[in-house]
Amino acid sequence: MSVDHILEKARSGERISVEDAIELYESNEVEKIGEVANEMMQKWHPEPITTFVIGRNINYTNFCDTYCRFCAFYRPPGHEDGYVLDNDVIFQKIQETKDVDGTEILMQGGTNPDLPFEYYTNLLREIKKRFDITMHSFSPAEIWKMVEVSGLSLEEVLTELHEAGLDSLPGGGAEILDNRTRKRISRLKGTWEEWIECMKTAKKVGMHGTATMVIGFGETMEERALHLKRVRDAQDETGCFLAFIPWTFQPDNTNMKAEKVTPEEYLKNLAISRIFLDNVPNFQSSWVTMGPEVGKKSLTYGCNDFGSTMIEENVVSAAGATHKVDTNLILRLIREAGKTPAQRDTKYNTLRVFEGDEKAAKDFIMQN
Ligand code: SF4
């Protein structure tokens, strides 16, 4: 059956329903869906600009007691290959990020039961004493572990983190926001309700975040649609999300057997998400998992942002996604896609447009 009636509905500004989204997921008309997603993106971003942020991922610990089935990164507490980075190593990584005009640090690690809550607040304070940098760090699973370890409430934990220097939450670990799939893949990670509650509470205490989505765990199309609905509802209620970042599960090197999601399926999910989430302004391309060429294509399927330079990304690379892209390549790919690259900050404010400014771009590339 044609999906034209749903796409027309979206074009006219009407919201699509969970049932509509399921129909789109079941359709093969990927290009048509992509076209409408591109129009929706252009409503938010009429200029042909694609942004990116210069940032670094710091995986400060790989000890984790959540044992997600799909994760190739973690080590159980006490394991000989486990680590917690020394603060000096973290400071060094931040300095290196500053040295290449970086503005954002994404600290993410396992849910380490041996780290007291003060570890995080002290570290944030020490970082902010030394650097003018945006701390876009910790996913809801880590935050909930801090709640457990500290005995404080969720709101108290987030307030203290914010006061110590945390600026925003990356919203990792959303995977699929439905408890049937969550139980199957990450039984101990918490429910979808807890994930949403964490992001909404972060906004309440003054921090924005982003929402992620990972497909390819054998979830149903209904579960994918429900994921979108739950993000849209939370956004209606609090405006907590600055961006949506969908990507695909990478089964290599993990204990989970699953078919790798095709680039078409990634693009379709991206486009449906852009159409469904009419209240989320920014969509990030997922070049780390899908590779630069698909990343480039995603800019006509709803994305206005090329994500982070991600100087370091152990969690994804441990599972075999080896598409490393640096700033230089990001500038080139965005241009090849017919867009103008611009560096942004974590709040999606443009810092620097590389518009026809070949010299600036060249200088920039030389420096980096
Ligand atoms: S995905 Fe995160 S929470 Fe799950 S096992 Fe890996 S490090 Fe732990």
Domain boundaries, the chain: 4-367
Query: pLDDT tens digit string along 270-297?
Result: 999 999 999 999 999 998 788 888 999 9
Q: Is the pLDDT of residue 367 over 60?
A: no
- Percent pLDDT > 70 in the chain is 92
Residue 151 pLDDT greater than 90, yes or no:
yes
CA distance 212 to 73: 18
Ligand 1 contact via 186 beta carbon (within 6 Å): yes
Give residue 366's pLDDT: 47
Per-residue pLDDT for 31 more than 50?
Answer: yes
pLDDT at 328: 80
Q: Is the CB of 66 under 6 A from ligand 1?
A: yes
Confidence (pLDDT) at 221: 98
Per-residue pLDDT at 322: 46
pLDDT of residue 8: 97
The mean-pLDDT minimum among 62-71, 150-159, 176-185, 351-360 falls in 351-360
Best of 65, 67, 138, 195 to mutate for ligand 1, by most ligand atoms within 8 A of CB? 67
Q: What is the mean pLDDT of residues 27-43?
A: 97
Closest residue CA from atom 8 of ligand 1:
110
Q: Is the pLDDT of residue 364 over 70?
A: no
Task: Give percent of the chain above pLDDT 90.
Answer: 80
88-102, 170-184, 250-264, range with the lowest pLDDT: 250-264
C-alpha to C-alpha distance for 154 and 201, rounded to whole angstroms: 8
What strands lie across the sheet with 282-283, from one edge to the other?
209-215, 241-248, 282-283
Q: Is 74 in the pocket of ligand 1 (CB under 6 A)?
A: yes
Q: Inform me whether the pLDDT recorded for 104 exceeds 80.
A: yes
Q: Quick one: which atom of ligand 1 is closest to the CA of 71?
A: 6
- 348 in Cβ contact with 281 (< 8 Å): yes
The pLDDT, as a whole number, for residue 259 is 84
Q: Minimum mean pLDDT among 112-126, 226-240, 241-255, 351-365: which range? A: 351-365
User: Which residue has the least CA distance to atom 7 on ligand 1?
Assistant: 110
Encode 140-188 in three state secondary structure.
Answer: HHHHHHHHHHHCCCHHHHHHHHHHHCCCEECCCCCCCCCHHHHHHHCCC
pLDDT at 251 over 50: yes
pLDDT for the residue 256: 83
Q: How far, in Å, is the centroid of ligand 1 from the Cα of 182?
A: 12
Does residue 143 line the site of ligand 1, with CB under 6 A? no
Q: Which of 69-73, 141-145, 286-290 has the lowest mean pLDDT?
A: 286-290
71 lines ligand 1 (CB under 6 A): yes
Identify the pLDDT of residue 365.
Answer: 46
| Residue 208: φ, ψ to 5° | -80, 175
Q: Are strands 340-344 and 350-353 parallel, antiparallel or unpaired?
A: antiparallel
pTM of the shown model: 0.93
If one residue of 58, 61, 68 were mutated to test the ligand 1 pocket, choosing by the most ligand atoms within 8 A of its CB, it would be: 68
For residue 264, the model assigns a pLDDT of: 96
Average of per-residue pLDDT across 81-92:
96
Q: HEC states along the chain?
A: CCCHHHHHHHHCCCCCCHHHHHHHHHCCCHHHHHHHHHHHHHHHCCCCEEEEECEEEECCECECCCCCCCCCCCECCCCCCCCECCHHHHHHHHHHHHHCCCCEEEECCCCCCCCCHHHHHHHHHHHHHHCCCEEECCCHHHHHHHHHHHCCCHHHHHHHHHHHCCCEECCCCCCCCCHHHHHHHCCCCCCHHHHHHHHHHHHHCCCCEEEEEEECCCCCHHHHHHHHHHHHHHHHHHCCEEEEEEEECCCCCCCCCCCCCCHHHHHHHHHHHHHHCCCCCEEECCHHHHCHHHHHHHCCCCCCEEEECCCCCHHHHHCCCCCCCCHHHHHHHHHHCCCEEEEECCCCCEEEECCCCHHHHHHHHHHC
Ligand 1 contact via 68 beta carbon (within 6 Å): yes
Can you tell me which atom of ligand 1 is nearest the CA of 62? Answer: 7
Choice from 59, 61, 70, 111 to test ligand 1 binding pocket (greatest atom count within 8 A of CB): 111
Per-residue pLDDT at 77 exceeds 60? yes
Report the CATH superfamily, name and number, of domain 4-367.
Answer: Aldolase class I (3.20.20.70)
Ligand 1 atom closest to 142 (CA): 3
Q: Output the average pLDDT for the chain.
A: 92
Q: How confident is the model at residue 154 (pLDDT cuts 50, 70, 90)?
A: very high
Kindly state if the Cβ of 165 falls inside 6 Å of ligand 1: no
